[in-house]
Amino acid sequence: MDEANWTVGDLAEMAGVTVRTLHHYDRIGLLHPMAWTASGYRLYDAPQLDRLHLIRLYASAGVPLPEIRRILDDPGFDRITALKHHRQRLAEQQRQTRALITNLDRLIRGETVSTDSMFDGTQPKEWEEEAKERWGQTDSWKISKRRTKKYTPADWKRIRGEQEDIEATLAALMAAGTPADGPEAMDAAEQARLHTDRWFYPCSHTAHAGLGKMYTDDPRFAAHYDKRSAGLSVYVRDAILANTARHQG
């Protein structure tokens, strides 16, 4: 076999992934093999290796696989630009980590962390950048930016507190076996909608339903909820959709 070609097992070992992962990439059209052997084994060469490298870079930054495929298959895709963009993401992550370590060191020494810096490193900038790319031209985004620009550390503390209360309520309802389309769950979902409407942008029930679907469709949002309690992202989505139907019906 040509030394520039690799079997699926060889490639999996080089990339630190499983053979099953590469099979999945093939099924969803993200990474096809160069060819197949007469025995039915997948073969990969340098272009596939390079594409897999980019896939793993994007995946490590939390980009969903369907979005990675869209990026890499875009006729205007430029490898150097993509690498520069990923480097920017990593540099920002590094900055956030340094800020978190600084705050932890202060707390360990018994020092008081100022309100201006206590949340340093806790709000990933890359999420804001991605949100701007997706919704930056919408009225909701512009309204949200105008509102949040004026918020003080005390405002953000209150916002996080309200959000925590809402999520804790929904998690407790799910743990108690309360149906997601029951009155209590729908009321909690309504509080979540009002929270967004009050602090960020006018959030109709239709718009809130869109957010609910994103909580399960986007792996990062799903992980946020499911980290608290397995299956919570689906429960929150279903409660939001039920609440939307209640108000629109």
Q: What is the pLDDT of residues 65-84, one digit of tens each?
A: 888 888 888 888 787 887 78
The larger pLDDT score, comparing residue 145 to residue 196, is at 196
- Mean pLDDT in residue range 183-207: 92
Per-residue model confidence (pLDDT) at position 228? 83
Q: How far apart are CA 77 and CA 149, in angstroms?
A: 34
Q: Based on C-alpha coordinates, what's the Rg of the chain?
A: 22
Domains in the chain with CATH codes: 6-77 (1.10.1660.10), 136-248 (1.10.490.50)
Sign for the pseudo-dihedral over CA of 13, 16, 20, 23: negative
Q: List, in order, residues 6 or more apart from 181 with CB less than 8 Å away.
A: 238, 239, 242
Q: How far apart are CA 173 and CA 155, in angstroms?
A: 27
- Mean pLDDT in residue range 92-107: 67
CA distance readout (Å), 135 to 7, 97, 221, 228? 42, 27, 17, 27
Q: Residue 21 corresponds to which tokens in the numbers above?
A: 């992962």
Task: Please state, rounded to an integer, the average pLDDT across all residues of the chain.
Answer: 81
Per-residue pLDDT tens over the stretch 26-41: 999 999 998 888 788 8
- Mean pLDDT in residue range 151-155: 81
- Mean pLDDT in residue range 217-245: 89
